[in-house]
A and B are shown apart, each in its own frame.
Chain A
């Protein structure tokens, strides 16, 4: 049976974030936390593999305790169990520290044949987690995976399509392997009532820093993060353009069409 790990993240819905015009700071209060959209596509790929070849999907996320909501959402569409890595000591981590933390927490649970990740997160959007996790796990990686065509436990290989800038390559890869998933072939699954009810009974294991033997505390959280954010500032906006208003919509649009045709 294939042991599949699917990495997900709860993110603020950045599309609903607003900037405080007075302070230039982002207003985070009231912004809903959602399952990272691309992680839902990765989960769809993992589910497809499970349904075709058999397997068990373990979810893993690192975040505050309320990230449980994102895990329940994933459990409701067919993931089997979940690990919530949560501890203040893990906070303020960049991708390097996060990859070490996820590896360390996953190792307390099981070993895995396949790991699925979304291509990038909505908030950080570095797109680095997949490659750094593969490095941490010491396994092969296929980023920008378009399609999982075949998986063979017997030979310990998978055949996949990978989307390049100018085409698609077909690769055979040795398992264990980490895949970052393109959304094209793996639309998001919507949970039904039965799934939601089943999700409530599924197991979520919480892993804190203290639960991980031999955890190197210098490699997690802020101390373990080589990248820092010394400052943020609002985008410098250019001078506004000319706002057209000729009294009526028709007249305004007529003016616009003149400008377009000029």
Chain B
């Protein structure tokens, strides 16, 4: 494969018919920087209809081209039509890279079309670097539970496919380009070949206890937490006007639900106050925390969490929690 035949970086635009998903705008803004270095055009690919005002948002993020795709099969999300669309268009246009927001549906079709194309797919990079010598994208991502960072490349094949978690990059639009191109494509998929049929949809009921993405204080417990100690951390969170959350190992032990998992593979949080108890500080976790005041309690003075915190206490998490409860109630 001659890599020089593959140009331009694509961003899949996820939308619900009304609004573009924020992750698509985040990706456009970040990939704009890569394109400025590589000389590729930045292309936003939009399956189905979005309004002109939403198209303008895509252009404001610096897209050089929009590919608006019409046809049958896109009325609701399904693996087959979306995978087919990127398979067909990638063969036609030969993009160098395709980026997809790692929403539930993005993670569903991106690896699928990458396999269709027999190319590589990476997931959850936290940093993207363009290497001008190899002309490859370096996908930097936490590995082994965040103990180490791995650089992943797709050195031979194209396109380079990557899914990126929402909230990984910031949406900072650099403005509309002077020359933009709107391309209309029709890629129809036979609805009879879609093997799923939608029977119903129920929106999540809003549960304030699980809404950790938008709360101002988070008390986060890590893997050493004892099941019987959970109530006191919940009490501490309540006293501080916040919510209880946790790290992945706590969810793996089925002590708390997945919706309370903070981190890259869980919920990205941006509280005013974050207090981590027994949290080791794995990269996957800390990249999901954007706190104004970051406090860590851990009995291991060498725990990486102390490098991310503003203030730390080296000590037994339960004893510190008890003392905090006493002090706050005093």
Using a CB–CB distance below 8 Å, which chain A residues touch chain B? 12, 14-15, 17-19, 24, 26, 37, 94-96, 99, 120, 122-128, 131-132, 134-136, 140-144, 159, 162-174, 177, 182-184, 187-188, 225-245, 249-250, 252-254, 256-257, 259-260
Q: Compute how far the CA of A227 lies from the CA of B115 in the bound complex, rounded to whole angstroms.
A: 12
Q: Compute how far the CA of A40 lies from the CA of B204 in the bound complex, rounded to whole angstroms.
A: 26
Q: Compute how far the CA of A18 lies from the CA of B154 in the bound complex, rounded to whole angstroms.
A: 28
Q: Compute how far the CA of A130 lies from the CA of B94 in the bound complex, rounded to whole angstroms.
A: 26
Q: Would A169 and B294 count as touching, CB distance under 8 A?
A: no
The verdict on B118 contacting chain A, using a C-beta distance below 8 Å, is yes
**Contacts A/B (CB < 8 Å), 24 sampled:** A15-B145, A15-B249, A24-B148, A26-B144, A26-B147, A123-B145, A131-B107, A132-B114, A135-B111, A135-B112, A144-B104, A169-B201, A170-B200, A184-B257, A228-B152, A230-B138, A233-B148, A233-B149, A237-B304, A243-B314, A250-B323, A253-B313, A256-B324, A260-B293
Q: State how many angstroms separate the Cβ of A255 from the closest Cβ of chain B.
A: 9
Interface residues of B in 262-300 (CB under 8 A from A): 265, 273, 275, 283, 293-296
Q: Compute how far the CA of A149 lies from the CA of B33 in the bound complex, rounded to whole angstroms.
A: 46
Tally of A-B Cβ pairs under 8 angstroms: 238
Q: State how many angstroms separate the Cβ of B179 from the closest Cβ of chain A.
A: 34
Q: Would A227 and B120 count as touching, CB distance under 8 A?
A: yes
Q: Compute how far the CA of A182 lies from the CA of B104 in the bound complex, rounded to whole angstroms.
A: 12
Chain B interface extent, by class: 35 or more
Residues of B within 8 A of A140 (CB): 79-80, 195-196
Interface-central residue, A94, A169, A188, A250, by most chain B CB under 10 Å: A169
From A143, A168, A188, A252, give the contact of B108 (CB < 8 A): A143
Residues of A within 8 A of B249 (CB): 15
From B83, B110, B156, B295, give the contact of A260 (CB < 8 A): B295
The verdict on B55 contacting chain A, using a C-beta distance below 8 Å, is no
Q: State how many angstroms separate the Cβ of A43 from the closest Cβ of chain B.
A: 15
Q: Would B296 and A14 count as touching, CB distance under 8 A?
A: no
From A131, A228, A239, give the contact of B79 (CB < 8 A): A131
Using a CB–CB distance below 8 Å, which chain B residues touch chain A? 79-80, 83, 103-105, 107-112, 114-116, 118-124, 138, 142-157, 195-204, 223, 240, 249, 252, 254, 257-258, 265, 273, 275, 283, 293-296, 301, 304, 306-315, 319-320, 323-324, 326-328
Q: Would B79 and A141 count as touching, CB distance under 8 A?
A: yes
From A37, A169, A252, give the contact of B313 (CB < 8 A): A252
With A143-B107, A168-B201, A238-B308 known as contacts, the answer to whether A131 contacts B112 (CB < 8 A) is yes
Residues of B within 8 A of A242 (CB): 310-312
With A141-B79, A243-B313, A249-B319 known as contacts, the answer to whether A166 contacts B204 (CB < 8 A) is yes
With A177-B195, A233-B149, A250-B323 known as contacts, the answer to whether A166 contacts B121 (CB < 8 A) is no
Q: Compute how far the CA of A94 lies from the CA of B156 in the bound complex, rounded to whole angstroms.
A: 14
Q: Would A127 and B107 count as touching, CB distance under 8 A?
A: yes
Q: Would B149 and A226 count as touching, CB distance under 8 A?
A: no
Q: Would A166 and B203 count as touching, CB distance under 8 A?
A: yes
Q: Compute how far the CA of A94 lies from the CA of B319 in the bound complex, rounded to whole angstroms.
A: 45
Residues of A within 8 A of B80 (CB): 140
Q: State how many angstroms separate the Cβ of A243 from the closest Cβ of chain B.
A: 5
Residues of B within 8 A of A24 (CB): 148
Q: Compute how far the CA of A41 lies from the CA of B209 in the bound complex, rounded to whole angstroms.
A: 25
Residues of A within 8 A of B79 (CB): 131, 134, 140-141
**Chain A residue, CB-CB nearest to B275:** A260
From A95, A131, A144, A171, give the contact of B199 (CB < 8 A): A171
Q: State how many angstroms separate the Cβ of A177 from the closest Cβ of chain B.
A: 7
Top 8 A-B pairs, shortest CB-CB distance: A226-B120, A14-B145, A140-B195, A128-B111, A237-B307, A241-B309, A227-B120, A253-B323
Q: State how many angstroms separate the Cβ of A141 from the closest Cβ of chain B.
A: 6
Q: Would B148 and A232 count as touching, CB distance under 8 A?
A: yes
Residues of A within 8 A of B326 (CB): 253
Q: Would A125 and B124 count as touching, CB distance under 8 A?
A: yes
Q: Compute how far the CA of A249 lies from the CA of B116 in the bound complex, rounded to whole angstroms.
A: 59
Residues of B within 8 A of A162 (CB): 104
Q: Would B149 and A235 count as touching, CB distance under 8 A?
A: yes
Q: Would B196 and A131 count as touching, CB distance under 8 A?
A: no
Interface-central residue, B124, B143, B196, B313, by most chain A CB under 10 Å: B196
Residues of B within 8 A of A238 (CB): 307-308
Q: Compute how far the CA of A174 lies from the CA of B280 in the bound complex, rounded to whole angstroms.
A: 44
Q: Compute how far the CA of A27 lies from the CA of B240 in the bound complex, rounded to whole angstroms.
A: 39
Q: Would A14 and B147 count as touching, CB distance under 8 A?
A: yes
With A227-B154, A241-B307 known as contacts, the answer to whether A165 contacts B120 (CB < 8 A) is no
**Chain B residue, CB-CB nearest to A94:** B120
Q: State how many angstroms separate the Cβ of A136 from the closest Cβ of chain B.
A: 7
From B115, B254, B314, B327, give the contact of A245 (CB < 8 A): B314
Q: Would B151 and A231 count as touching, CB distance under 8 A?
A: yes
From A132, A172, A177, A236, give the contact of B111 (CB < 8 A): A132
With A173-B195, A238-B308, A241-B308 known as contacts, the answer to whether A168 contacts B147 (CB < 8 A) is no
Residues of A within 8 A of B143 (CB): 123-125, 232
Q: Would A243 and B195 count as touching, CB distance under 8 A?
A: no
Q: Would A183 and B258 count as touching, CB distance under 8 A?
A: yes
Q: Would A232 and B151 count as touching, CB distance under 8 A?
A: yes
Further 11 A-B residue pairs, CB within 8 A, beyond A26-B144, A143-B107, A238-B308: A37-B252, A124-B143, A125-B124, A132-B112, A135-B115, A167-B202, A172-B197, A230-B138, A230-B151, A243-B306, A249-B323
Q: Compute how far the CA of A227 lies from the CA of B146 in the bound complex, rounded to whole angstroms.
A: 19
